[in-house]
Amino acid sequence: MISRPRSQALQQRAERFFPGGVNSPVRAFRAVGGEPPFIERAEGAYLYDIDGNRYIDYFGSWGPMILGHAFPPVVEAIERAARNSASFGASTAAEADLAERITACYPAIEKMRFVSSGTEATMSAIRLARAATGRKIIIKFEGCYHGHADGLLVKAGSGVATFGIPGSAGVPEEIAHLTLALPFNDIAVVEAAFAAHPGQIAAIILEPVVGNAGCIPPANGYLAGLRKLTAQCGALLVVDEVMTGFRVALGGATQIHGLDPDLITLGKIVGGGLPVGVFGGKRKIMDLLAPLGPVYQAGTLSGNPLAMAAGLATVSYVQEHAAEVYPRLETTTKAVAEGVAQEAARARIPLTLNRVGSMWTWFFTPGPVTNYEQAAKSDTVAFGRFHRALMDRGVWLPPSQFEAAFLSYAHTDADIQATIAAARAAFQVVAAR
């Protein structure tokens, strides 16, 4: 049994300053139980907590650490940039250096703007879409998370085509009513929404591979269907690749599915672990932004030189070594995801594996899981037991059934085998209840 006395003491101290002792809710482990370890350092595939325990990391700071922790070229780039001051609030060459690489991987991004989080990126993209179309209504999908801007913290209303209801306290109904939250992977309900609100829908925003309900891939033809429908109805297609960008492929889901969206948002990997979000797309839409156009958007630390350095080192490496990085990620992720699923079958634990590249989820349900309603049938109590049993065996999954797991370029075959062995024991704990 792993002991964490120093983490327990730090948790109590943190709870004096932060609600729940955390600066982002999911870190509190409320969905899985157990005590969240405090991290002292991380390297490669491993996290080391303040009590000296080592964990194989399968959430990678929620996506950014695709090359593993403390990847030397990234560390050196940040160190070099820091010696020239942490921030100027003025333009630097590094912004265009990173932008050049982004647009090479995402040709639909003809122009872009850097911000400091995925939330800022999606919030800004929605404002831009409303300005570009002169329309107000936004369509999002249940189970998709696009950050915590008011208009995107919206749950489905009573009827499928009825307006959304606030997904959080503090979100006014008036704002929630401008968002329709529809089931993912169902093109007919989107067609019905456009028919019910002709000329009023500004945009659809979606995760092209859902990660925030757990991993849910798009059905065949679904993304192309949304692209066709939005083009026909004069609405914009906003593809939120904050999680999938540079993750599921160098060019994200946009590349895999040959999509040509109007706007794309990026985050996580594009900042290499430092705060970077991106929103970008067609030139005529982006040029509506101040100082050229009437849409205001700004940020003190947008394009921050340290964040640009970390993003550039990360994106440059995956771009220049894509032929090695992505096949390796596919092989090792397939091995661990399917190896653990086989252990569940041996233990007769109902489990559905959804995976796209190096992001995946083991849903504790017989499945299938093609939308949030099906994902929500998962046995979250069993998942919590599994999570705690793995933590006690040095394997750290994202602390929620409704999150995607991520593997890094640093994970070794030995890590995979150790994880499968730990899962074999953890499933015995789950089955024993």
In sequence order, what are the residues at sequence separation of 6 or more whose Cβ sits closer than 8 angstroms to the Cβ of residue 431? 347, 348, 349
Residue 212 sits in the site that holds ligand KE4 (CB under 6 A): yes
3-state per-residue secondary structure call for 154-188: EECCCCCCCCCEECCCCCCHHHHCCEEEECCCCHH
CB closer to ligand KE4 out of 12 and 24 = 24
**Catalytic residue at 240?**
yes
CB closer to ligand KE4 out of 150 and 343 = 150
| Residue among 419, 266, 278, 254 nearest 341 (CA) | 419
At 264, is the secondary structure helix, strand, or coil? strand
Please name every residue paired with 43 in a beta bridge, in sequence order, or none if there are none.
46
Of 207, 262, 343, 415, the one binding ligand KE4 (CB under 6 A) is: 207
CB closer to ligand KE4 out of 153 and 349 = 153
Of 38, 145, 194, 409, the one binding ligand KE4 (CB under 6 A) is: 145
Question: Which stretch, 140-148, 189-197, 349-357, 359-367, contacts ligand KE4 (CB under 6 A)?
Answer: 140-148
Residue 117 sits in the site that holds ligand KE4 (CB under 6 A): yes
Q: To the nearest whole angstrom, how small is the minimum distance from the Cβ of residue 5 to ligand KE4?
A: 26
- State which residue has the least CB distance to ligand KE4: 118
Residue 240 sits in the site that holds ligand KE4 (CB under 6 A): yes
Q: Which of residues 267-326 bind ligand KE4 (CB under 6 A)?
A: 267
Question: Which stretch, 96-104, 159-167, 239-247, 382-390, contacts ligand KE4 (CB under 6 A)?
Answer: 239-247
CB closer to ligand KE4 out of 344 and 354 = 354
- The strand order across the sheet containing 179-182 reads 111-115, 277-281, 263-266, 236-240, 201-206, 137-141, 179-182
Question: What is the 8-class DSSP label of residue 218?
Answer: P
Of 60, 151, 183, 211, the one binding ligand KE4 (CB under 6 A) is: 211
Residue 218 sits in the site that holds ligand KE4 (CB under 6 A): no
**Catalytic residue at 260?**
no
Buried b / exposed e along 187-198 (16+ C-beta atoms within 10 A): bebbeebbeebe
CB closer to ligand KE4 out of 122 and 254 = 122
**Residue 163: left (phi > 0), alpha (psi -120 to 50), or beta?**
beta
Residue 64 sits in the site that holds ligand KE4 (CB under 6 A): no
- Can you point out the beta strands (E) in 297-406? 352-356, 359-363, 395-396, 405-406
Of 4, 101, 146, 385, the one binding ligand KE4 (CB under 6 A) is: 146
Q: Which of 145, 222, 317, 326 is catalytic?
A: 145
138 neighbors 202 (Cβ within 8 angstroms): yes
Q: Which of 106, 268, 326, 415 is catalytic?
A: 268
Of 7, 11, 53, 122, the one binding ligand KE4 (CB under 6 A) is: 122
| Residue among 264, 260, 140 nearest 201 (CA) | 140
Amino acid identity, residue 373? Answer: E
Q: At what angle do helices 93-105 and 305-320 cross, to 10 degrees?
A: 30
Quick count: other Cβ atoms within 10 Å of Cβ 277? 28
Number of residues interacting with ligand KE4: please give it, by CB under 6 A.
Answer: 18
Of 11, 53, 119, 354, the one binding ligand KE4 (CB under 6 A) is: 119
403 neighbors 25 (Cβ within 8 angstroms): no
Residue 26 sits in the site that holds ligand KE4 (CB under 6 A): yes
Give whole-number Cα distances, 431 to 382, 400, 422, in Å: 9, 19, 14
**Catalytic residue at 106?**
no
Q: To the nearest whole angstrom, how small is the minimum distance from the Cβ of residue 425 to ligand KE4?
A: 27
CB closer to ligand KE4 out of 117 and 419 = 117
Quick count: other Cβ atoms within 10 Å of Cβ 161? 16
At 285, is the secondary structure helix, strand, or coil? helix
Of 12, 24, 168, 417, the one binding ligand KE4 (CB under 6 A) is: 24
Residue 368: cis peptide before it, omega within 30 degrees of 0 = yes
Residue 242 sits in the site that holds ligand KE4 (CB under 6 A): yes
CB closer to ligand KE4 out of 242 and 308 = 242
Q: Which of 49, 150, 240, 415 is catalytic?
A: 240
Which are the catalytic amino acids?
145, 240, 268
Give me the residues that bind ligand KE4 (CB under 6 A), please: 24, 26, 62, 117-119, 122, 145-147, 207, 211-212, 240, 242-243, 267, 403
